[in-house]
Each structure stands twice: as C-alpha cells, then as structure tokens.
Structure 1
Amino acid sequence: MRSMTGYGRLTKNIGDYSYNVEIKSLNSKNLNINTSISPLFSPLELHIQNLVKKYFKRGTLRISVDIKLLKTDDIIDVDLGLAKAYYNALNSLINELHLADDVNLEDLLKFKDIVKISIDEKTIDDIWEGAKEVLKEVIETVLKYQKEEGKDLKDFLDGYLTELEDIIIKIEENAQQMKEKYREQLKHNVNSLISNIDSIDENRLEMEIVLLAERADISEEMDRLKSHTRRFKNFLENENNNDSIGQELDFICQEMHRELNTIASKSKILDITNLSLEGRTLVNKIREQVQNLH
C-alpha cells in the first residue's frame, strides 16, 4: 500500500554528463506528469514520461531533470566566417554614421546564429542512458517514501474500520428492537382498521402488513454493508496489493455510505438513526484517507 505523497532527489555524474533529478509526488485523482528540462534535451521528455508511467498510476508528479555537459567541445560550433561578416558590417555602420562606439564580443553574441549548440542522435541516446539510471534511483526513493506513508495510512484506516464494525454490531442489536416496534405499530393499525369498519378489507390489511414489513426490514442493507467492510478489510490485509488500490477503496466507501444512508432513512428507532449517522461520519473520514492512496 502506497500513498501518493513522495519525494526524491539525486545528483550524479555519469560519463561526460552531470545529472540532477528531483521528483515530487502529490495527490491527484488521475496521473499528471509535469516535466521540467532544458529545451536542448527536449527529445528526452517522452522517454521520461514513459518510464515514470511504469511505476505510477495516480498522482501529480513534478519532475525536474537538470543535465550539465562536462565536455562541450563536440556540441558547440562557432561560425567564425559569419562572426567576421557581422563584425565588418557593424564596423562599417559605425564608420558610416561617425559613431564613437567599438564592436565587442557582447555585440556579436547577440546574433544567435554565430554560436550553435547541437546534439546528434547518438549523443542523445548516451545522455538518456545516464538519465534513465538516475531517474530509476530517484523513483525508488519516491516509492520507498510512499510505502512508509502508506503504512501510516493503513494504521489510520484499521482504526476507523474497527470503529465502523462496532457500529454495525450495535445497529444489528437495535434492529430486533425496530422489528418489535413495527410489530406493535402493525397491531395498532390493524385494531384501528377493524374498529372503524364493519368488515375487514383483506387486501388493505395485507397491503398494510407488507408496507410495514418493508419499512422495518434493513437486513439486505446490513448484509451489503458487512460485505463492503469485509472487502475493504481484505484489501488492507493483502500485502500483495502493490498496484493502485485507492480508487477501488474509494468506490467501496461510496457504497458503504449509500447503505448507511438507506438504513438511516428506513429506521424509526433513534438509536439506529444516530448510529447510522455516526457510521457515515466514519466513512467520510475513511474516504479522506483513502483519497491519499495510490
């Protein structure tokens, strides 16, 4: 079990390149990858995203990849001929306009086509091999961080789930009282019906019995609620759940909330209504924690 919150950073020299990689992982319903890298190495961005997608299914990932070239002779090309042409043109302009200025290096560097930086495909491949190695190390750091956070979240969820199971037991204990209450109400309604008419309308009597029975019966809701809690607990106890389980648990929370709503609306027993509302509050707390899970 992993949270969606994580952090990792590493600076490492590999060959002729220095890599500084930082990854921050934050909560998000879907997977969002934001990559910061120099335009010079923009061909690596797709490689980075494809690598990251192998390890993360949810969350917002902010990835910074800073690459420094320890050896630059092979990628910098200075067009001396073009530089001389610009120099002569500027000097001619100064002389023609009788200016007191001189042409310096700063003036020439304003012409972007004099100095060109280019990296061939083979060099990009070499740079990617080093970047991939560093990225994997940082990803492992982030995953370790997320697993530690996941352990803390599991402890919270275990505690909340135990409280919810206690509430379910109390609701079941009160459910029998609710049946007795409806039985008494049924007797009262039947007696009232008989006393106000000369003959008993069997159909109406049957309808009254059915309606009251339906109102009193929360057994199906309780069965589903217990099934949801068992399923939730199985997810927590299964150590092989290495994939994204946050969305699955979030769905279970929605279903538990739905059943508790139905129980609260059906019940005419104040204790059951209060217990159902208390259960809904717990489910909301559980869901808040679940939404932090990967």
Structure 2
Amino acid sequence: MRSMTGYGRINKNIGDYGYNLEIKSLNSKSLNLNVIISPIFSPLEINIQNFIKKHFQRGRINIYIDIKLLKSDDVIDIDLGLAKAYYNALNVLANELHLSGEVNLEILLKFKDILKVSLTDEKIAQIWCGLEKVLEEATNIVINFQEEEGKNLEKVIVEYLKEMKRIVDEISQHADKMKDTYRELINNNLNSLLTDFTNIDEKRMEMEITLLSERSDITEEIDRLNSHIKRFKNLLESSEPSIGQDLDFICQEMHREFNTIASKSKLLEITNLSLEGRSLVNKIREQVQNVH
C-alpha cells in the first residue's frame, strides 16, 4: 500500500544535457498533474504526462524540470529580416519625433521575437532519452517514499479494523436479544391499548408482532459489515498499485450499515455500538484519504 505523499529529486548530466528534476506528490481524489518546464521544451510535456500516468493513478503531482545545454549548440535562430524591420522602424520613429540616441543591439534585444530557440525533432528525441531515465529514477524515489508512508498508514488502519471487528461482533451478540426486546415492547404497548377488549385474535396479533420484529432484524447489516471488513483487509494485502478509491467506497458502505443498524435498534447497547462504529469509520476514512 502506498500513500499519496512523496518527494523525489534528481540532478544528473546525461550526454550533452543537464537535468534537474523534482517531483512532489500530495493528496487528491484523482490524478492532477502540474508540469513546470521551459516553453522551449514544451514538445516533451505529452511524453512526461504519459510517463507519470503509468506510475501514479491518484494524487496531485507537481513536477519541476530544468534542462541545461552542457555545450554550445546551434539552437538559436536569428530572424534578420525582422531585426532589420525593427531597426528601420525605430530610426524612422526617432527622426519623426526628433529623438536623440542611436538604435543599438541592447534596444533590439528587447524584442524577444528576433531571437528564437529552435530544437529539431532529433534533438528533442535526444533530450527525452536522457529525461526519461531521470524521470524513472525520481519516480522510483517518490514511490519508495510513498510505500514507507503507506506502511505507517496500514498499521494504523489495521488497528482500527480490529476494533471495528470487535464492535460488529458485540452487535451480533446483542442482535437476538434485540428481537426479544422489540417483541416485548410491542406486546406491552398492545396490552395497554387493548385492555378493554375481550375478543382479540391472538394468532393475528402474533403475526403482526413477528412482522414488526423482522423489520428490526439487523442480520443482513452485520453480514455486510463483516464482508466489508474482509474486503478491506484483502485490499490492504493486495499488490494493486492504487486502492485508495476502493477503500474510500467501502468506508461509505460501512458507514451506511452502521446508520441502518442505529435506526433499527431498540437496544441502547446496540445504538451505542453503532455510534462507536460510525466514529471509527470516520477515523479510518481520514487515513484512507491519503492512500494512493
């Protein structure tokens, strides 16, 4: 099991390029990628996103990438035609407005579109070859971080599950008693209402009592809770790369079962246990929010 919290950083030179890469992962209900990279290397963004999606299914993943050229390379295109056009236009402007000073290189360089960085497909492929290796290393660091955090989360959740199983078992022990209590309550209420009547169909009354008692039966809810706990444990022990959403769904279902038990309960013991169970589910869910 992995948490969604992780961090990894790599600074490495490969071939003619230097790579400085940092990955931070935080909690999120779904996968949310944020890639920060120079616009020069924007053609690599799709490759980066596809790579990350193979390793992360949940979390807010922030990726910072800085790529440097380690040696001089012919990647700058100069738009001489545009530079001359700017130069001529500025001279005309200076003459018309009777401005002093000359149009020099410093002024021309303020027009960013004169100098353009141009990377060929071949260079992009070379840069990606090195970047992919660095991404792999940084991703492994993050995943190892998440797995260590996941171990701590699992210990806490397992203890909560043990406590929940105890609660469910105690509710089960009180379940048969609740049927008898419900029957006794109905009998007492009916007797107080029917004291002035002599002709009472006892069989019909018994049938009504049985029907009402069946409505208070919580056997199915107990069975489902036990099933949810078992499923939860199986997911914790599985090798699935992402189980957080499934665990969260099971928490919702367990909370619903405890609510149903509380609404049916006529015993204070069961009501209190169901409330304790709901509180425990909330604690588990707080931990599950950080499970990848």
Q: Normalising by structure 2, report the TM-score.
A: 0.90
Cα-to-partner distance string for 1:151-185 (whole Å, 9 max, x where unaligned): 01001101111111111122122223323322433
Match of 2:256 in 1: 258
CA distance in 2, matches of 1:209, 1:92: 103
Q: After TM superposition, list the pairs within 5 Å mapping 1:248-287 onto structure 2.
A: 248-287=246-285
Partners of 1:215 and 1:267 within 8 A in 2: no
CA distance in 2, matches of 1:194, 1:84: 108
Aligned AA for 1:288? E
State the secondary structure of the residue aligned to 2:10: strand
Q: After TM superposition, list the pairs within 5 Å mapping 1:39-58 onto structure 2.
A: 39-58=39-58
Following TM superposition, by how much is the alpha carbon of 1:263 offset from its aligned partner in structure 2, in angstroms? 0.8
State the secondary structure of the residue aligned to 2:229: helix
Q: Which moved more, 1:214-223 or 1:126-135?
A: 214-223
Following TM superposition, by how much is the alpha carbon of 1:139 offset from its aligned partner in structure 2, in angstroms? 0.5
Following TM superposition, by how much is the alpha carbon of 1:210 offset from its aligned partner in structure 2, in angstroms? 2.7
CA distance in 2, matches of 1:186, 1:90: 99
The 3 A distance-change label for structure 1 pair 100 and 182 is: closer
Cα-to-partner distance string for 1:235-270 (whole Å, 9 max, x where unaligned): 22xx44232111111111111111111111111111
The 3 A distance-change label for structure 1 pair 261 and 99 is: closer
Q: Normalising by structure 1, report the TM-score.
A: 0.90
The 3 A distance-change label for structure 1 pair 186 and 96 is: closer
State the secondary structure of the residue aligned to 2:24: strand
State the secondary structure of the residue aligned to 1:54: helix
Aligned AA for 1:105? L
Cα-to-partner distance string for 1:218-250 (whole Å, 9 max, x where unaligned): 1111111111112112222xx442321111111
CA distance in 2, matches of 1:218, 1:84: 86
Q: Which moved more, 1:219-228 or 1:199-208?
A: 199-208
Match of 2:208 in 1: 208
Report percent identity of matched pairs: 64
CA distance in 1, matches of 2:252, 2:239: 20
Match of 2:182 in 1: 182
Consecutive unaligned residues in structure 1, runs of 5 or more: none
Aligned AA for 1:161? L
Match of 1:59 in 2: 59
Match of 2:241 in 1: 243
Q: Which moved more, 1:138-147 or 1:164-173?
A: 164-173
The 3 A distance-change label for structure 1 pair 199 and 60 is: same
CA distance in 1, matches of 2:262, 2:234: 26
Runs of 4+ in 1 over 6 A off after TM superposition: none
Q: After TM superposition, list the pairs within 5 Å mapping 1:2-41 onto structure 2.
A: 2-41=2-41
Match of 2:286 in 1: 288
Partners of 2:90 and 2:103 within 8 A in 1: yes
Q: Which moved more, 1:78-87 or 1:41-50?
A: 78-87
How many residues of Structure 1 are paired with residues of Structure 2 in the alignment? 292
Partners of 2:26 and 2:59 within 8 A in 1: yes
State the secondary structure of the residue aligned to 1:243: coil
State the secondary structure of the residue aligned to 1:196: coil
State the secondary structure of the residue aligned to 2:67: strand
CA distance in 2, matches of 1:74, 1:105: 21
Following TM superposition, by how much is the alpha carbon of 1:75 offset from its aligned partner in structure 2, in angstroms? 0.7
The 3 A distance-change label for structure 1 pair 292 and 93 is: closer
Cα-to-partner distance string for 1:29-60 (whole Å, 9 max, x where unaligned): 11111111111110000000000000011111
Match of 2:234 in 1: 234
Match of 1:133 in 2: 133
State the secondary structure of the residue aligned to 2:101: coil
CA distance in 2, matches of 1:162, 1:200: 50
Match of 1:151 in 2: 151
Partners of 2:31 and 2:56 within 8 A in 1: yes
Cα-to-partner distance string for 1:8-30 (whole Å, 9 max, x where unaligned): 11111111111111111111111
Q: Which moved more, 1:201-210 or 1:123-132?
A: 201-210
Match of 2:160 in 1: 160
CA distance in 2, matches of 1:92, 1:206: 107
Consecutive unaligned residues in structure 2, runs of 5 or more: none
Aligned AA for 1:277? L
